[in-house]
Structure 1
Amino acid sequence: MKTTFKKQRGILLVLMSLFLITACQDENEAVTVEEEAISDQLAQRSAEIDLISDDIGLIVDDASQEFESAPSFLPSCVTISTEVSGGFSQLTLDFGDGCQLPNGNIVSGIIMMSQDVNAELASRVIQVTFNNFTRNGVLVDGTRSVTRVLSNENGNPQSTAEVDMQVTWPNGATYTRQATRVREWIEGVNTGTWTDNVFSITGNGTTTGPLGNTHSANITTPLRREAVCAFIVSGVVELSRNNNTGTLAYGDGSCDGEATWTGPNGNTITIILD
């Protein structure tokens, strides 16, 4: 009886050990797959958040020129309300239930801006908030503080934005972006039309996904954004997490709506931008 019991207990211990080993292997495999999936997914989302952030930058830069008599990028479907008090202008940009930007992207809701009305200032600070604002169906919330100078060291207008925003996709997935974005207006300044406007974007920041995983991002090659195109057309962003690094390359200047993501494992995929 004792011998039989010992054998049974031994068999039970072996089975439990095998179960634990298998469970740990499965868990490790699941974590590895999840991390790989998150890396690719975050690259996709990071690219999309870049575009969302930059369209907001285009809108804010354009609206801030209200007192500078520059040609407007803003479409006729936006309602602009202005209230001036104490030397500050409170601008409300209401895009209604849907308004198409000249580059083809659809925005809705409200962007609110506060800035100094003195057009003679070489530098001004613009505070930006949102009210049920969406771009291509993605909800945007948070704040943006923009310092705009009329002439940087290259003689070009430039905006430096401190961004703290949350973006929520229709499926409920929410990403948080905290970043510094510097937008230099490098082509089309004072030409009398917005269609030849080109911007060079630099900066860095972090993006936190729905599971709480955070990636850092650093623009290693300036991003090129042409006002007539719905997408970033060139430039490279380096994404890093847990000592793993990948690169997001936006192309060779073509307005093709594609980017190339090279993950930490060296695998490369094409990302379709939206």
Structure 2
Amino acid sequence: MKSTFFNPINGLTILGLLLFASCEKEEDLPSNQVNETEETAQEVDLTTTMEDIDKVTLSSFQRNGFANRSLLTMEEDLCEKVKIEWLPGVKKMIIDFGQGCTSPRGVTRKGKIIVTYTGRYWSPGSVITSIFENFYINDRMIEGVRVITNQGFNENDKFFTFKIVIEGGKITWPDGTFRTVESRHV
């Protein structure tokens, strides 16, 4: 039987190579995964922004007694400086945040939301159109036209159904990146 001699230098060399190989730099995420992460963050930001616009519009309707809600009121998140110009003769409302103001919940808005309507928000068949004029939410510029149509109750008469159309929509972040939005949802 042949005896084997273990050389400690060879053992250390092999151990060193194994350690070196296991400590390689991690690979960067593939660009499509980075884009998916950014895309998801932008989608969440966009959804939050549209929800904020809905709350501002509903609060403004409510403030003017035009929301059809007498038992349940929305908690307003409008800053003190906001001016709401109510033009019922032409079915228009201008929500003007001026050069900017911060709401009680810390949301900074500036510019105008110009709202036209055919009827009360909760009345079936009503159409509410929002146009943004130099409008920003937390330094994100919002552009486009958003149309909400109340299609009445659903088949089970339990929930209102709204058709929402966004045309020429665009959200621009402070770093100059932007996302365009064209959508139709029911």
TM band (smaller chain): 0.5 to 0.7
State the TM-score, normalizing by the size of structure 2. Answer: 0.67
Equivalent residue, structure 2, for 1:142: 144
Tell me how far 1:149 sits from its aligned partner. 5.2
Q: Distance in 2 between matches of 1:158 and 1:101?
A: 30
Q: State the match for 1:50 in structure 2.
A: 47
Q: How many aligned positions are there?
A: 151
Percent pairwise identity: 21
Between Structure 1 and Structure 2, the one with more strand by share is 1
Residue 61 of structure 1: aligned partner: 58
Tell which structure's C-alpha radius of gyration is larger. 2
RMSD (Å), alpha carbons: 3.0
List alignment gaps of at least 5 residues for structure 1: 1-28, 183-274
With structure 1 as the length reference, what TM-score do the two structures score? 0.47
Unaligned ranges ≥5, structure 2: 1-26
- How far apart in 1 are the matches of 2:177 and 2:111? 20
Residue of structure 2 in register with 1:176 after alignment:
180
Query: What is the aligned partner in structure 1 of residue 88 from structure 2?
Result: 84
**Superposition deviation, residue 77 in structure 1:** 3.0
User: 1:68–1:52: structure 2 CA closer, same or farther, 3 Å change rule?
Assistant: closer
Task: List 4+ stretches of structure 1 deviating above 6 A.
Answer: none
Q: Deviations over 1:131-178 (max 9, x none)?
A: 111111100001101113565444344543212310011111111122
Q: 1:162 to 1:40 in 2, by over 3 A?
A: same
| Amino acid in the other structure paired with 2:96 | D
- Structure 2 distance, partners of 1:118, 1:57, is 14
Partner of 1:116: 118
| Contact persistence 1:123–1:150 (CA under 8 A) | yes
Maintained 8 Å contact 1:91/1:112: yes
Deviations 1:211-268 (A, max 9, x none): xxxxxxxxxxxxxxxxxxxxxxxxxxxxxxxxxxxxxxxxxxxxxxxxxxxxxxxxxx
How far did 1:69 drift? 5.4
Q: Secondary structure at the match of 1:123?
A: coil
Aligned counterpart for 1:162 among listed residues 145, 165, 171: 165
